[in-house]
């Protein structure tokens, strides 16, 4: 009897191990399939963007998803592109980066307008800022805060309409970042000897601030992916801390956290 009991136990253990192995293999296969699909979609969208232009590519994608093509040009389009390859964390990073880029652009334009710089100098500096914003998905439209908030509040991203508190939180965060950036960029707009020097200085300042914000947004998205809490740690300096609040607010709005 003892041998039979041991044998039964042995068979049971082997079965459990086999089931675990099968489950692990299935999980790995699903993960690989999702990664392959994400890569395929990303490559297809990228190829489409190169062949017909990003604007047309977003419009076609929006049509396929039943989303107005005009909305796809802004923050919603950026979020969907981020979600395609990165799920919820990808959408969070894309929205946060778009909002940060838009806030920095608006602040730079405001600083230039109030600087007293010659008209030709302002024109070239503003052109440099626009070129930056057009390179960040969603940023060029995100400077229109009300329109952006309306797009985010539509519920198209998460399938449900965000709460008034979450919408108010992200509006305050974006306004806060714009105010901080406006102050920092305002001290930059003085003493340039040429139009190109002014444009280069603003381009460098905005891109530097955005690079910090981009990394912070990626860190917040990674925290969401790893099940971490949604709160601003601080310690990034005034501009970085303001950008972190934007990223955390975006994560709460999209993730319902």
SS (H, E, C) 144-174: CHHHHHHHHHCCCCCCCCCCHHHHHHHHHHH
Q: How many CB atoms lie within 10 A of CB 203?
A: 18
The four Cα atoms 27, 30, 34, 36 give a dihedral, to 10 degrees, of 110
- pLDDT computed for residue 13 by the predictor: 45
pLDDT by position in tens, the chain (length 257): 444 444 433 334 445 565 566 555 555 554 454 455 445 444 544 454 444 454 455 555 555 555 555 555 577 777 777 877 788 888 889 889 999 999 999 999 999 999 889 999 999 999 999 999 888 888 876 655 556 666 666 555 555 566 777 778 888 899 999 999 999 999 887 778 899 999 999 999 999 999 999 999 999 999 988 887 777 888 999 999 999 999 999 888 887 65
DSSP structure class, residue 105: H
| pLDDT given at position 227 | 84
Percentage of the residues of the chain whose pLDDT score is greater than 70:
62
Q: For the chain, how many helices (H) and strands (E)?
A: 10, 0
Ramachandran angles phi, psi of 231, nearest 5°? -155, 155
For residue 161, CA distances in Å to 64, 148, 198 come to 22, 14, 43
Phi, psi of 140 (to 5 degrees): -65, -35
Give the per-residue pLDDT at 51: 47
**Number of neighbours of residue 8 by Cβ within 10 angstroms:** 10
pLDDT at residue 254, rounded to an integer: 80
**Tokens 């955390």 map to which residue?**
248
Q: Is 242 helix (H, G, I), strand (E, B) or coil?
A: helix
CA gap 202, 109 in Å, rounded: 10
In sequence order, which residues have a C-beta less than 8 Å from that of residue 54 and are 6 or more positions away?
none
Question: Measuring CA to CA, how many Å separate 186 from each of 124, 126, 149?
Answer: 17, 14, 26
Write down the pLDDT at residue 41.
46
CA distance 89 to 96: 10
pLDDT at 113: 94
Residues sharing a CB contact under 8 Å with residue 147, sequence separation 6 or more, in sequence order = 74, 141
Q: What pLDDT does 52 receive?
A: 44
């Amino acid at each position: 009897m003892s041998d039979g009991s041991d044998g039964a136990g042995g068979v049971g253990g082997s079965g459990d191990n086999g089931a675990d192995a099968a489950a692990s293999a299935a999980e790995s296969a699903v993960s690989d399939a999702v990664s392959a699909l994400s890569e395929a979609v990303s490559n297809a969208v990228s190829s489409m963007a190169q062949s017909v232009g990003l604007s047309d590519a977003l419009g076609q994608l929006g049509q396929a998803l039943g989303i107005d093509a005009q909305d796809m040009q802004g923050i919603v389009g950026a979020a969907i592109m981020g979600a395609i390859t990165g799920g919820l964390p990808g959408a969070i990073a894309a929205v946060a980066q778009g909002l940060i880029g838009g806030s920095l652009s608006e602040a730079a334009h405001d600083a230039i307008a109030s600087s007293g710089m010659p008209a030709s100098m302002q024109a070239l500096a503003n052109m440099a800022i626009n070129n930056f914003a057009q390179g960040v998905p969603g940023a060029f439209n995100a400077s229109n805060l009300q329109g952006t908030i309306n797009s985010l509040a539509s519920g198209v991203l998460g399938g449900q309409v965000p709460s008034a508190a979450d919408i108010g939180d992200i509006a305050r965060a974006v306004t806060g970042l714009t105010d901080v950036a406006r102050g920092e960029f305002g001290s930059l707009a003085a003493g340039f000897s040429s139009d190109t020097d002014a444009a280069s200085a603003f381009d460098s300042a905005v891109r530097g601030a955005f690079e910090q914000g981009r990394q912070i947004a990626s860190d917040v998205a990674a925290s969401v992916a790893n099940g971490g809490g949604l709160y601003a740690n601080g310690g990034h300096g005034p501009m970085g801390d303001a950008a972190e609040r934007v990223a955390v607010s975006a994560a709460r709005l999209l993730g319902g956290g």
